[in-house]
């Protein structure tokens, strides 16, 4: 596993996001996230109140990460997010993904926070993946 300083050196534009994920789940959980995914219940990524706050705080970086990965995969970013296992691919979800990714007001999501939750989980998994050798 790479050190946090190496991951930051390799991804300086993601320094704040790397530190945020690292500080929430801890060094000891990174390999577990990489093996099993974030949905298993890791500190700071369990409750919707935590994942929504995380997404709101790091929204620009998380969205940039999503757009970059979709581009690498040759996929439309909205379709990519709709295909996350934790997302229902329905009309409501399509609207919510568009609101999140294209700068809409998150208050329009009302009480439905599953898309910001999915994007917070996505960011945590992507950051943890960068710690792999």
Give the C-alpha distances (Å, rounded to integers) separating 9 from 4, 34, 72: 8, 20, 21
Contact 44, 123 (CB under 8 A): no
pLDDT at 85: 87
Domain boundaries along the sequence of the chain? 4-129
Percent of the chain's residues with pLDDT above 90: 78
Q: What is the DSSP letter of 102?
A: T
Q: Is the pTM of this model over 0.85?
A: yes
pLDDT at 11 over 90: yes
pLDDT for residue 70? 97
- What are the tokens at 58? 């790091």
Q: What is the mean pLDDT of residues 14-19?
A: 97
- pLDDT for 103 equals 86
- Backbone Cα Rg of the chain: 14
Residue 111: per-residue pLDDT: 63
pLDDT at residue 40, rounded to an integer: 86
Q: How distant, in Å, are the alpha carbons of 49, 93, 98, 120 from that of 109?
A: 14, 10, 11, 16
Residue 84, token pair as written in the block = 């996350």
Per residue in 54-111, pLDDT tens?
999 999 999 999 999 999 999 999 999 999 988 877 777 888 899 999 988 888 776 6
- Give the span between the Cα atoms of 116 and 98, in whole angstroms: 11
């Amino acid at each position: 596993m790479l050190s946090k300083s190496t991951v930051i050196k390799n991804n300086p534009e993601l320094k704040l996001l790397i530190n945020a994920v690292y500080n929430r789940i801890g060094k000891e959980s990174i390999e577990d996230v990489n093996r099993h995914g974030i949905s298993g219940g890791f500190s700071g990524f369990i409750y919707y109140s935590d994942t929504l706050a995380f997404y709101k705080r790091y929204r620009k970086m998380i969205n940039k990460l999503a757009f970059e990965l979709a581009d690498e995969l040759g996929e439309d970013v909205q379709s990519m997010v709709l295909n996350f296992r934790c997302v229902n691919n329905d009309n409501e979800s399509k609207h919510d993904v568009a609101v999140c990714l294209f700068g809409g007001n998150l208050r329009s999501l009302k009480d439905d926070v599953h898309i910001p939750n999915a994007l917070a989980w996505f960011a945590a998994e992507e950051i943890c993946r960068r710690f792999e050798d």
